[in-house]
Structure 1
Amino acid sequence: MGDLPPGFRFYPTEEELVSFYLQNKLEGRREDLNRVMDRVIPVLYIYEYNPWDLPQFSGEACHGDPEQWFFFIPRQESEARGGRPRRLTTTGYWKATGSPSFVYSSNSNRAIGLKRTMVFYNGRAPHGNKTEWKMNEYKAIEAHHADQNQSLIASSSSNTPSAPTLRQEFSLCRVYKKSKCLRAFDRRPLGVEIMSNPSLNLNQTAAAHEGAGHQGQGSTSHRRNPLMGSDQRTNSSSPESSSSGDHHGPQPPSQPAGETGTLPMFIDNEALWDLEQLMINNNWL
């Protein structure tokens, strides 16, 4: 795994994390598979370390990854005795934020796991200082009580899901550092729909371009990329939206894509940012 060429990354979806990695870790039936998974997602009691120390213990597939790191967390003794988990480190603590949410199977639409998001605070509760370090913790739903669990899930609201029976032997966590720029993990299921100004059609754009060489004012108008004057709408292509839970659901466009003067396009957020930089560098704005 250490010889992977540049550009190859460990890039799992939430469903893959729960249905394949966590489920196989819990079952433990294949020793050869367990050895491979331990190289990809190591077993680590992460609360013995501060979050900024965790990247050095990440699996081979995440070595050098500046965005996210994955670990299996064994059940604590306090949890085994029916108590609450201790999420304290030497310098701070992890605090849950928001409400738990479910991870669903794309094949059966059944809930297969439960996700909690946590933030790391420096200091001691309740006076700690919030940091940019975050974590998603995943636990698998007990398959032997699937029908009962699905009934609980169906009867619960989307904001306050009822607690199904969970497998406690291991949980899987994704540790990441919140930054001002979008991370690749969050960009995966997210696209940006760009709708052009309805008053500007393709013929007008072409005419402005042709007249640019004859009029100074026309030169200014054709340099303005029509994409940048359009409305932007986020569109999630996956029910899970993203693992960090920061994105909202899809929003329908205000106009059908087939109307005159409308240019529906779906591009990656990073590509949009690159486009803006390119236009600035070349004085197109």
Structure 2
Amino acid sequence: MLPGFRFYPTEEEIVSFYLHSKLEDKNPEIDRVIPILDIHQFEPWDLSTHGEVCLGDAEQWFFFVPRQEREVRGGRPNRTSASGYWKNTGSQCHVYSSGGKVIGVKKSFVFYKGKTPKGTKTKWEMNEYKVIQQDSPSSVPQLRNEVNVCRVYVVSGSFRAFDRRPTQAAGNDQVECGNSEGH
């Protein structure tokens, strides 16, 4: 990459461009930007060595994560590794387009070392993004689950907001995503 280049997409860009493009197989080169990887087979601190664009980024790493076989059969995904597990930290929340339309959902997780439920919380966090199917015949929004995007990062203590969506685009009455960890 050229000096000064940083891959820092907004949540809207992650869902509406990258994840949507991957699901629709619109851009085969997109795997160079966000690699396909079952991140749950790795420790979070080993993930920074995967991917061409995010390689060496000290802040965050993005991955397309394929749906696990147990999810296909209606089960819950396995979010454990050899040394710990990813714990959901709050309720699922919406990702909005700049026009105020709901385009996806986001779940937040924290990595705990050890076995559940007695693991030790680490500074590793993850956001999991899924697309909402826009042309669903049902009035209830349907999620596209074939692939999701996970953003893995280390909490630095900085209050810089990840989502740089303009606040005036859809009004200020939308409820922001929160979780029980206070982030």
Fold in common (TM above 0.5): yes
The structural deviation recorded for 1:63 is 2.0
Matched, 1:138 2:114: no
Question: Which amino acid in structure 2 is aligned with residue 40 of structure 1?
Answer: V
TM value normalised by structure 2: 0.87
Matched, 1:94 2:71: no
Structure with the higher fraction of residues in helix conformation = 1
2:147 aligns with 170
Question: Which amino acid in structure 2 is aligned with residue 140 of structure 1?
Answer: V
Structure 2 unmatched ranges of 5 or more = none
Shift of the 122–82 alpha-carbon distance from structure 1 to 2, 3 Å rule, reads same
The structural deviation recorded for 1:243 is 8.5
**Residue in structure 1 matching 2:162, options 164, 186, 190:** 186
2:56 and 2:103 map into 1 onto residues whose CA distance is 30
Contact 1:139/1:166 (CA < 8 Å) preserved in 2? yes
The structural deviation recorded for 1:241 is 9.7
Structure with the higher fraction of residues in strand conformation = 2
Matched, 1:39 2:16: no
1:19 aligns with 16
Contact 1:186/1:242 (CA < 8 Å) preserved in 2? no
SS of structure 2 residue aligned to 1:112? strand
The structural deviation recorded for 1:188 is 4.5
1:55 and 1:242 map into 2 onto residues whose CA distance is 28
Matched, 1:52 2:45: yes
Question: Which amino acid in structure 2 is aligned with residue 53 of structure 1?
Answer: D
Instruction: Find the structure with the greater CA-based Rg.
Output: 1
Matches within 5 A, 1:193-208: none
1:243 and 1:10 map into 2 onto residues whose CA distance is 23
Shift of the 244–175 alpha-carbon distance from structure 1 to 2, 3 Å rule, reads farther
1:143 and 1:116 map into 2 onto residues whose CA distance is 19
The structural deviation recorded for 1:180 is 2.1
Matched, 1:121 2:112: yes
Matches within 5 A, 1:237-248: none
Shift of the 102–146 alpha-carbon distance from structure 1 to 2, 3 Å rule, reads farther
1:51 and 1:147 map into 2 onto residues whose CA distance is 37
Structure 1 unmatched ranges of 5 or more = 150-163, 191-235, 248-285
The structural deviation recorded for 1:242 is 8.6
Q: CA RMSD in A?
A: 2.5
Higher relative contact order, structure no. (Cα contacts within 8 Å, ≥ 6 residues apart): 2
Shift of the 41–17 alpha-carbon distance from structure 1 to 2, 3 Å rule, reads same
Query: Per-residue displacement from partner, 1:91-121 (whole Å, max 9, x unpaired)?
Result: 00001011111011123x2211000000000
SS of structure 2 residue aligned to 1:24? helix
TM value normalised by structure 1: 0.57
2:147 and 2:163 map into 1 onto residues whose CA distance is 28
Moved over 4 A (4+): 187-190, 236-247
2:7 and 2:147 map into 1 onto residues whose CA distance is 20
2:169 and 2:67 map into 1 onto residues whose CA distance is 31
> Across the two proteins, how many residue pairs are aligned to each other?
178
Shift of the 237–64 alpha-carbon distance from structure 1 to 2, 3 Å rule, reads farther
Contact 1:186/1:244 (CA < 8 Å) preserved in 2? no
